[in-house]
Structure 1
Amino acid sequence: MGVGSKEERTMLINQPTLLIQPALEELLIKYKPDVVVSDAMFYWAPSVAAQFGILCILFVSGGTFPLVVFKRIYDMQPSMSVDADQITVSDLPGPKIVMPVPELPNYRIGHNEACDKVLDSLFGSWPDVYGIVFNTFRALEKEHCKEFERVQRKRAYFIGPVSLCNSSNVDGVIHRGGKGDVGFLKWLDGKEDGSVVFISFGSECYFKSEQLHELAIGLEHSRRNFLWVVRRDNMEEWMPDGWEDRMAGRGFVLKRWAPQVAILSHPAIGAFNSLWMEFSCAVKVWDGGKRSTREEEHELVPRSAIAHAVFKFMEPGGEYVAMHSKAKNVAVSALAAMQEGGSSHGDIKNMVNDLFGLIG
């Protein structure tokens, strides 16, 4: 049984953020800080800070490319035809981006008053903030970092990946965000480097039991090791008969919170699912059928497509070896960006110097 559309679930997740607003006001009155750094999803924070004459910096936890694309779609929405088969996201660097209309969120096609209000407030707050901080680094998204600075004309600091800041604190990385079962780490320790696929779709993605069933069988048929985070209470709704026993030793299912930083840092992880295909290090699982953000319209991604994609991508020395090599190069670049003299390290210094120069 579903729990509403993705947009409705997102709005439910965002509603509790409003409850924090009074607490922030109290903190600002009590401590009188010079600067407030707020997650971008707390879209009301800049106006609250402005009431007290305090500078506000927004922190974007993702990359520049997704935000630039999303902002462009937001700007295009008033002229977007609901009858069109696809849209072209124009005026962006790089190859032309063409998106099927059914794959767009509901609130970008029609009008959803609640979602429109949140997005209007989010993007409407940008002119009032001192700057925006991104969890990315310039070498990864060079053209889109420049595009953001050019179009938005805001101070932008690209300081990521922030997960590398305290990677030496093993216990902190493992338990960051929760105290879930970490027995999977011993399981990962027993696997060869790069031999495990990590599957986790986050808090906002919801799959029907039928799709989870197909995914489970697809992973079984792939004959590859996998670590899968499934946030569902009733596993019997989707789990194939005898599947858990058959997957013993080859698959590990985490049924609650998962420390993603610790998992992705483990040498046994060789691939993971991603909602964004960037820097040519990913493949699309399925090109067939009808895809849509509306659950009643999209078709199930078949087990055969899942099995084939996982098997081929994880094949040692296979056709995707160049992607694996490029991903390793990106990792090296990320580490270099965070080190002294790197671009992210430099942007952090620039931000601090800018603020000190402003507030004295």
Structure 2
Amino acid sequence: MSTTKSKTNLHIVAYPFPSAGHIIPLLDLTHLLLTRGLNVTVLVTPSNVHLLEPYLSTHPSSLKHLVLPALVPDITPTPPHKRLLAIMRALRDLHYPFLLQWFQSHPSPPVAIISDFFLGWTHHLACELKVPRLCFSPSGAFGMSVAFSMCRDPPKNNDPGEDINFQISLPMVPNSPTYPWWQIPPYYRNDLEADPDWEFHRNSMLANFESWGIVFNSFASLESVYFDHLKREVGHNRVWAVGPVLPLEGDVIGSATRGGASSVPCHKLMMWLDARLDNSVVYVCFGSRAVLTSKQLNVLATALECSGVHFILCARVPDDQGSILDGFRDRMGDRGLVIKGWAPQVTILRHRAVGSFLTHCGWNSVLEGLISGVVMLTWPMGAEQFTNALLLVDQLSVAIRTGEGTENIPDSNELARLLVVSLDKIKPQNVRAKELSDAALSAVKGGSSDKDLDELIKQLADIKKLE
């Protein structure tokens, strides 16, 4: 992306949702804004301050941070989706009055707020402060279109306990996607309508579409039909696609240590990859949050073992299943590497030896796979990942479907076959992977994403002039 720095005197606040998969892309966008001369204050909770380190050292004068009060540790409702809703509400209750006081007492307050889509309540804060609020979506435009549709008209199933394959259709979304009931995130279902946390989440998500603008970590040619759709839905053109915002090769922000430390040092990973042939390694990762069940883990390990492919496996497993992973690692020897915890995913995917990527289809992983030009194998686990898999397989033809959550666990022999097939360099998906990689790079090197980011800054500057 363009790195021409011209001082704008614009001061904005960036407020990520306090989870690594949400914080890092908004920090990457912040980095791009800083290179264009803006001043940014990042709002961060105490446990995530370390994620700022590479950005603070790169922008020592224009990047500030404000440490927000930490949530009390007793927000532990089950099931997991209830925990997410409770955290979202608790953040509002704790941070709204704190931020209101901070803004009102600041000698040179920010002229805009850009905040994660899980923080839709900041739209109301921005209205009280009389500043524009930008919703930042770490998910794609297709996923956001689906979320908007489900928030506006919550999916209904008269027998959700029995008919988990009941088909939900979204005819107002382009391409009319359909989903079996079990793929609908619980926080969008009509059976929770009496729950105050559910209602808070719904109103918070709808507030995203009432905000002054929406910024996507995506690029125009990847999801053009959905960007057009969202502009019609919100009734204006302040919908910007500025991604992929992840650092380009050689950028210090893209160092292997960003986001956390790996159980396998990066230099050892690179040495192992350097000894492999081009496009000969399958990288397997299900993100930083998904925990594989024992059945999923056994199928995956068996498939990798039977396939004969070289691989890097990064997966979270229940504490009582660690011995399965340890025994598997011992049997595989030098044919594969097993990483526990965080993996330097961007660095791994960019290596010439990696030819395919078995992924849970989180949006960060989708973009990292696309820009690296590798073929993807999809095994979504939850949330908008099923939508992202639809995009990759059925609409972009850049990926191969393997599994779906715990309901459609692939046969280990079939999965082993697909792992081998994914490294075949003459597949149609290889051609599409190269095309989309080129399109992503073009977008951020003077193309549509660069232009959208410049236009976003121009419109913010115009607002500042009117003050």
Q: Which residue of the other structure, out of 217, 232, 235, is the alignment partner of 1:135?
A: 217
Q: Which residue of the other structure, out of 183, 207, 210, is the alignment partner of 1:103?
A: 183
> Does the residue aligned with 1:228 lie in a helix, a strand or coil?
strand
Query: Per-residue displacement from partner, 1:56-106 (whole Å, max 9, x unpaired)?
Result: 111111211111122223333265544562122212223x42211122223
Contact 1:209–1:238 (CA<8 Å) still a contact in 2? no
Asked if 1:257 corresponds to 2:332, the answer is: no
- Whole-angstrom distance in 2 between the partners of 1:46 and 1:119: 13
The residue identity in structure 2 corresponding to 1:116 is W
Say if 1:213 and 1:74 are closer, same or farther in 2 by CA, change over 3 A: same
Query: Per-residue displacement from partner, 1:144-174 (whole Å, max 9, x unpaired)?
Result: 111111112241010000014x532256431
Asked if 1:282 corresponds to 2:399, the answer is: yes
Number of the residue aligned with 2:312: 227
Contact 1:197–1:271 (CA<8 Å) still a contact in 2? yes
Say if 1:124 and 1:74 are closer, same or farther in 2 by CA, change over 3 A: closer
Q: How far has the Cα of 1:135 moved from its partner?
A: 0.5
Say if 1:126 and 1:300 are closer, same or farther in 2 by CA, change over 3 A: closer
Contact 2:155–2:188 (CA<8 Å) still a contact in 1? no
- Whole-angstrom distance in 2 between the partners of 1:78 and 1:333: 35
Q: How far has the Cα of 1:254 moved from its partner?
A: 1.1
Asked if 1:42 corresponds to 2:119, the answer is: yes
Q: Which residue of the other structure, out of 168, 171, 185, is the alignment partner of 1:87?
A: 168
- Whole-angstrom distance in 2 between the partners of 1:266 and 1:223: 20
Contact 1:213–1:238 (CA<8 Å) still a contact in 2? no
Query: Per-residue displacement from partner, 1:287-339 (whole Å, max 9, x unpaired)?
Result: xxxx6x6x6xx36443223212212222343xxx1101111110101111111
CA RMSD, aligned part only? 2.8
Alignment of 1:143-154 (within 5 A): 143-154=225-236
Query: Per-residue displacement from partner, 1:238-270 (whole Å, max 9, x unpaired)?
Result: 616842122122211110112322222222222
- Whole-angstrom distance in 1 between the partners of 2:324 and 2:197: 34
Alignment of 1:320-339 (within 5 A): 321-339=427-445
Query: Per-residue displacement from partner, 1:121-150 (whole Å, max 9, x unpaired)?
Result: 332313542101000111111111111111
Structure 1, unmatched stretches of 5+, are none
> Does the residue aligned with 1:248 lie in a helix, a strand or coil?
helix
Contact 1:10–1:204 (CA<8 Å) still a contact in 2? no
Alignment of 1:53-68 (within 5 A): 53-68=130-145
- Whole-angstrom distance in 1 between the partners of 2:138 and 2:285: 17
Structure 2, unmatched stretches of 5+, are 1-76, 362-379, 381-387
Alignment of 1:210-221 (within 5 A): 210-221=295-306
Say if 1:116 and 1:163 are closer, same or farther in 2 by CA, change over 3 A: same
- Whole-angstrom distance in 2 between the partners of 1:223 and 1:4: 40
Q: How far has the Cα of 1:5 moved from its partner?
A: 4.2
Higher relative contact order (CA 8 A, sep 6+): 1
Asked if 1:120 corresponds to 2:202, the answer is: yes
Q: Which residue of the other structure, out of 244, 250, 265, is the alignment partner of 1:168?
A: 250
The residue identity in structure 2 corresponding to 1:281 is V
Question: Once structures 1 and 2 are overlaid, which stretch shifts more, 97-106 or 130-139?
Answer: 97-106
> Does the residue aligned with 2:259 lie in a helix, a strand or coil?
coil
Number of the residue aligned with 1:205: 290
Number of the residue aligned with 2:449: 344
Say if 1:322 and 1:54 are closer, same or farther in 2 by CA, change over 3 A: same
Q: How far has the Cα of 1:191 moved from its partner?
A: 2.2
The residue identity in structure 2 corresponding to 1:50 is C
- Whole-angstrom distance in 2 between the partners of 1:195 and 1:20: 48
> Does the residue aligned with 1:226 lie in a helix, a strand or coil?
strand
Asked if 1:266 corresponds to 2:346, the answer is: no
- Whole-angstrom distance in 2 between the partners of 1:68 and 1:93: 9
> Does the residue aligned with 2:154 lie in a helix, a strand or coil?
helix
The residue identity in structure 2 corresponding to 1:99 is Y
Contact 2:135–2:214 (CA<8 Å) still a contact in 1? yes
Contact 1:209–1:237 (CA<8 Å) still a contact in 2? no
> Does the residue aligned with 1:329 lie in a helix, a strand or coil?
helix
Number of the residue aligned with 1:28: 103
Number of the residue aligned with 2:58: none
Contact 1:6–1:205 (CA<8 Å) still a contact in 2? no
Equivalent residues, number? 344
Number of the residue aligned with 2:371: none
Q: Which residue of the other structure, out of 149, 153, 157, is the alignment partner of 2:240?
A: 157
TM-score (norm 1): 0.85
Number of the residue aligned with 1:7: 81
Say if 1:41 and 1:265 are closer, same or farther in 2 by CA, change over 3 A: farther
Q: How far has the Cα of 1:350 moved from its partner?
A: 0.9
- Whole-angstrom distance in 2 between the partners of 1:323 and 1:192: 20
Question: Once structures 1 and 2 are overlaid, which stretch shifts more, 3-12 or 47-56?
Answer: 3-12
> Does the residue aligned with 2:139 lie in a helix, a strand or coil?
coil
Say if 1:106 and 1:40 are closer, same or farther in 2 by CA, change over 3 A: closer
> Does the residue aligned with 1:239 lie in a helix, a strand or coil?
helix
Alignment of 1:286-325 (within 5 A): 286=403, 298=407, 300-317=409-426, 321-325=427-431
> Does the residue aligned with 2:270 lie in a helix, a strand or coil?
helix
Say if 1:355 and 1:134 are closer, same or farther in 2 by CA, change over 3 A: same
> Does the residue aligned with 2:324 lie in a helix, a strand or coil?
coil
Number of the residue aligned with 1:355: 460
